[in-house]
Amino acid sequence: MLVFHVNHKGAYDQLHTSHLVHLTGAVGPESLVFDPAGKGPYTGVADGRILKWSGDELGWIDFAVTSSQRKECTRAFAPEMEHVCGRPLGLRFDHQTGDLFIADAYHGLQVVGPDGGLATPLVIEAEGEPFHFTNDMDIDDVENVIYFTDTSTSFQRRQFMHSILSGDRTGRLMKYNKSTKEVTVLLRGLAFANGVALSKDRSFVLVAETTTCRILRFWLQGPKAGHFEVFAELPGFPDNVRRNAKGEFWVALHAKRGLFAKYILSKSWVGNALLKLPLSFKQLHVLLVGGKPHATAIRLSEEGKFLEILEDSEGKALRFISEVEEKDGKLWIGSVMMPFMGIYHL
């Protein structure tokens, strides 16, 4: 096992050997989750559907949707329709009930039964502030609560570049009590609140702060309960965080920081000035992440130490990954932008 230092050198450039599973007529499998029986994975895609992988013979089948207004939801990628069709991001199964909980970027926290269909809304606001960009979650089956993020109270998902470049810090980490239906804000003022993962002993919950390229730890138990600290500083922009069976954490980096990213993000006036220029999304994206698409997955210990870094440095197979789910000796890898998922054998 390699232990990486602050400079993060010595990564294994092996993710290009991943097997790709393409999505027919769909794009953006952001989160990947298996049901209590081990079937799947299930994933949410850009047109608002949740799909289930049923093996090579059957492929992907429709499982659920987060909006009933789907008459015009016919294109695989139509950002201008996301608020109508829905955009399911973080997915988690309740292993006691078999229900699938969904963080839909536009329709809040939702749930659908084991047989799928139209999901039911659970909560769409906290403290009178509506959710603008519900993003990810994790479930504490013992306490019967869900920890989840709202990335911003100012920007929606299709405006995510504006949220990052403007220096927006309105993200929140929250707790939803499934019994009482109450929502509690645990952390506010986050810079693009993103992935969520509960520790194995349930003593803390992690939240990815994408703009600052770091993971925060919020303590739920012990002498530090109610306080947070920096868990890990990362070389790029983290998306989802997922715990493995050992209690370690896999972090998917959307991309490493580009040459100018640190300067742009350290001065909000620079980002706001860029937003006023006639630059396309692609041009702004390149300024943040550089011109070379690639993939980076980082495995962290329960103490936040770097245990392993896996990369596809040239983007030969994977790029702009959003989640890494470890199961049965494999990494199942999603991407919010690509029309496929990857499977990497450990």
> What pLDDT score does 157 carry?
82
State the pLDDT confidence band at 9, using cuts at 50, 70 and 90: low
Task: Measure CA 333 to chain center.
Answer: 11
Q: What is the mean pLDDT of the chain?
A: 92
Q: Give the tokens for residue 142.
A: 């013992």
Q: Give the tokens for residue 340.
A: 């496929």
Cα end-to-end span (Å), the chain: 13
Report the C-alpha gap between 290 and 288 in whole angstroms. Answer: 6
Element (H, E) at 278: none
Q: What is the pLDDT of residues 45-97, one digit of tens each?
A: 999 999 999 988 899 999 999 999 998 998 988 888 999 999 999 999 999 99
3-class SS at 302? coil
What residues contact residue 50 under an 8 Å CB cut-off, 6+ apart? 42, 43, 44, 62, 63, 64, 65, 66, 88, 91, 100, 102, 112, 116
Q: In the predicted model, is pLDDT for residue 1 greater than 80?
A: no
DSSP-derived pairing of the beta strands 60-65 and 117-118 = parallel
Between the CA atoms of 137, 265, 228 and 239, what dihedral angle is there, to the nearest 10 degrees?
Answer: 20
Q: In the predicted model, is pLDDT for residue 171 greater than 60?
A: yes
> What pLDDT score does 18 carry?
97
Mean pLDDT for 223-246 is 96
Smallest Cα–Cα separation from 150: which of 168, 163, 134?
Answer: 134
Task: Measure CA 164 to chain center.
Answer: 15
Please identify which residue in the block is written with the tokens 């999901």. Answer: 119
User: Which tops the pLDDT comparison, 4 or 169?
Assistant: 169
Smallest Cα–Cα separation from 107: which of 137, 82, 75, 73?
Answer: 82
What residues contact residue 171 under an 8 Å CB cut-off, 6+ apart? 149, 150, 151, 152, 153, 188, 189, 190, 191, 192, 193, 209
> Which letter does DSSP use for residue 99 in this model?
P
Q: Which amino acid belongs to residue 214?
A: R
Smallest Cα–Cα separation from 65: which of 20, 21, 26, 98?
Answer: 26
Report the C-alpha gap between 315 and 312 in whole angstroms. Answer: 5
Q: What is the pLDDT of residues 290-326, one digit of tens each?
A: 777 889 999 999 999 999 999 999 999 999 999 999 9
> What pLDDT score does 271 carry?
81
> What pLDDT score does 7 carry?
46
Mean pLDDT for 316-343 is 96
Between the CA atoms of 271, 275, 277 and 282, what dihedral angle is there, to the nearest 10 degrees?
Answer: 100
Domains of the chain, with CATH numbers? 15-345 (2.120.10.30)
Mean pLDDT for 148-157 is 90
> What pLDDT score does 8 carry?
52
Per the document, the length of the chain is: 346
3-class SS at 163? helix
State the pLDDT confidence band at 6, using cuts at 50, 70 and 90: very low
3-class SS at 38? coil
Helices (H), the chain: 55-58, 82-85, 160-165, 261-266, 268-276, 281-289
In this predicted structure, which of 64-78, 116-130, 221-235, 276-290 has the lowest mean pLDDT? Answer: 276-290
Total Cβ atoms within 10 A of residue 332: 25
> What pLDDT score does 192 carry?
94
Indicate the pTM of the whole model: 0.93
Q: What is the pLDDT of residues 13-55, one digit of tens each?
A: 999 999 999 998 999 999 999 999 999 999 999 999 999 999 8
> What pLDDT score does 2 carry?
35
3-class SS at 40? coil
Q: Which residue(s) pair with 50 in the sheet?
A: 44, 64
